[in-house]
Amino acid sequence: MSTQLDDLYNDHILDHFECPYHKGAIDHPSCSRTEKNPLCGDVVTLQLQINPEGKVENAYFDGKGCAISQAAASILCEHVEGKSVDELEKFQARDMLDLLKVPLTASRQKCGLLGFRLLKTLIYEQHPEENEHSVSPSDTLNTPVSNTDNE
């Protein structure tokens, strides 16, 4: 149960939050997508430039929201560049959380995985035919908690 939260906002996260990697827009992205977490209003746009060999040459994000969602998107962009679409298909939510290097409580995982969800959808759309009979991204992207709002 207990998670040591003191480490959450460490230099790794805060550096990415304050000086994000590739925050902005690509002129002619191969694909682009925006998503919102209505609960906290986090918004992230992810844009990829994929070369004919199926490699991500450029990854940019834009958005606003909590430090976790924005830092995670920045860390994600840094990570995916140079990776092939095939490699990224194997990239799991767990791997994303590992990349953040900080313990996220269930309730904050949705923030940490917002950019990742976009990535998975974009990658999935690269091979829609192939994936026809496999699981849809929404099946694999369920975070542990259905993080809806209530009081």
8 A C-beta contact, residue 119 and residue 47: no
E strand or H helix at 16, and its extent?
helix 11-18
Distance of alpha carbon 119 from alpha carbon 112, whole angstroms: 13
Nearer to another protein, 25 or 39 (CB): 39
Coil vs helix vs strand at 40: coil
What's the closest the beta carbon of residue 112 comes to another protein, in angstroms?
A: 11
Q: Given the complex with another protein, which of 21 and 49 has the nearer CB atom?
A: 21
Six token digits for residue 27: 């002129």
Q: Least CB distance from residue 107 to another protein, whole Å? A: 4
Please give the residue ranges that form the binding site for another protein (CB under 8 A). Answer: 1-6, 8-9, 14, 18, 38-42, 65-68, 105-108, 111, 142, 144-151
Choice between 65 and 137, CB closer to another protein: 65
Minimum CB distance to another protein, residue 151 (Å): 4
Cα-Cα-Cα-Cα dihedral sign, residues 35, 40, 41, 46: negative
CA atoms of 79 and 69, how far apart (whole Å): 15
Closest approach of another protein to the CB of residue 142, in Å: 8
CB-wise, 14 or 25, nearer to another protein? Answer: 14
